[in-house]
Structure 1
C-alpha cells in the first residue's frame, strides 16, 4: 500500500514506472543479504567486463560490428518483451490497473523504459569497445521487432512446451523418440531446401532458436525443491537435458553425415554449449543462492569462452572443474533452505 500511495500522484504519466522502481528498490536489499553476494557482484562484473573487452579487442572489425549489432538487438528485444509483459500485467492484474488504462501512463512507462534501455545499451557497448551509431540503429530495429513478436510466440508455445517438457520425455519414451524424429525431420528437410539466399541456414537457425525458447529455461526454485525431496545431480540433469539432446543431437549428426559442414559445425557447437550451460545452471542452483549462481555461471562461461579462443582444450577443462566443484558443493548443501 505504501508503494501505491507513493506513486498515485505522479505527474506526466510516470506513475507505472515509479511503481516498478519502488518495487525494485525494495527487492534489491533482499538480493544482497550476505557479504558473498556483494563480493560476487563487485568482483565478477569488472572481471567479466575485462575478459570480454580483451576478447573483443582481438576480433576483426567486421566481427566487432556484428557483435555490437547482436548485443544491441538482445538488449532491445529484452526490453520490448519486458515492456509488453509489464503493461499487460499492469492493465489486468496490477494494483494500478486503473492508472494503466490511461494512455498517458502507458506512454510515460514506455518512454522511461526505452530511454533506460538506450542508456544501458550505450554503456555496455562503450565498456566493450563496440560503440557504433549504425550498429545501435540496426540492432535496435531488429531487437524491437523480435521483442514484440516474442510474447506472441511464447503465448502460443506454452502448450507445446508443456507437451515436450523434459518430465514428459523422462516418463514416456515415445515422446523422447518423437522429439528425436522432429530433429531428424528438420535435418532431412534442410538438406533438400535450396541453399540460395541461405534458406537452409534460416530454417536451421529458426529451429535452434525455437529449441532454446522451449527448453533453455531453468527454474531455480524447481531445482532446489527437487533437490530437497531427494533428487540427485544426475536425476536433475536427466530431467532437463534429455529434451535438449533429443531435439539437437540427431540434427547435428544428420548434417555431418550429409556433408553440410558449416551448418553442421554451428549446430554441433549449439548442441554442446546449450546442455553444458543448462547443466552448469542446474548444479549452481543446487549449491548457491540464485543470484550468486547466475553470476557464477556467467563467470565460468566467460572464462571458458575466452580460454577457448586461445587454447580450446582449456575451455573444456574450466567447465569440467566448475561442474565438479558445484556438484560436490550441491551434494553437501542438499537440505539447505533459502
Structure 2
C-alpha cells in the first residue's frame, strides 16, 4: 500500500536507449490526468566529469549520473506532488521523432482511461478525489532498476511502479542512428561512429543481464524472480518458445496503461488484497457448503437406513404373527 501522506506516485519507465521510453512517457502524460515527467537524462554530470571508455565519453554508465540529486528530486516529488522549484529540464527540448501510432488509437486508449476515471470507477477515487487527488510522476530513464552496487537501494525505493521495455540490439541501433543528437548542459552531443556497439549496448547488458536467464539480453528469457526481486513489470510477449523483443508500440501502450491502472488500484485501494480476501472468504464458504452437503447426504443416508430398519421390523413382526396363526390353525385341525 502507498504511504497515505504521499502526494505523488512515481512510475519508472526504463529500458535500453531508443527502446521507446520517452515516447511512451509523453503519451502516458497526455492520457492520465495530473501527470508530469522527470527525465533521468536531466541528472547527467557536466561533460568534463563523464567517464571515458575506449577513448569515448561514456554517457551510459551509473558514474555519469548524479544519483543523489535524482533521489532527492524524487523524495521531494513524492512528498509535495511537485517538481523541485529549481528544476530545469533540458531533455524536453530533445526531439523523439514522429509518433509510431495513430491518433485514433490513442483516443481509444484515452476513452478507456476516461471510463476508469468515472465517479463510479476506481480511477476517480485515486486521481480525481476532491479530498486527496494523487498526482503521477513518470521517471523516464535508461538506468533505473539495477540492484546494488550499480545503483543504490535508496533510488529504487523511490519508485512505486516499475515498467521495463524490451528492445533488440538491431532496433535500438536503427532508432539511435536516426536521431539528430542530444541537448546537454554544455550544448549538443552527437554519437560518434560505433558508439552503440562500443558504449550503449555493452553498458545496457552490464546493467540488466541480472534480469535474464544466463545473462542473455538478446534471447530475453526473463528470470522468474524479476518481479519478486524488484517489482519490475516487463512488456514481454511470448511467440511460441521465444520472447518477442520488438513489440508493436500500440501493444506496448496498451500494456503500460493496463499495468498502471491495475497497480494504482493495488497500491492506493488495496484492491488485490481485497480481492484476495474475498476469494478466501468464497473458498471458505464453498468448503462450508460442501461440508453441509456431506452432512445432508449422511443424514439422509442415516434416515433411509433407519426407515428401512423400521420397515424390516414391521415385516418381521407380520411374518411372526402369520407363522403363529398358521401354527395355531394346525393345532386346531389336529
Greater strand percent: which structure?
2
Which TM-score applies when normalising by structure 1? Answer: 0.25
Which structure ranks higher in relative contact order (CA pairs < 8 Å, sequence separation ≥ 6)?
A: 2
Which TM-score applies when normalising by structure 2? Answer: 0.25
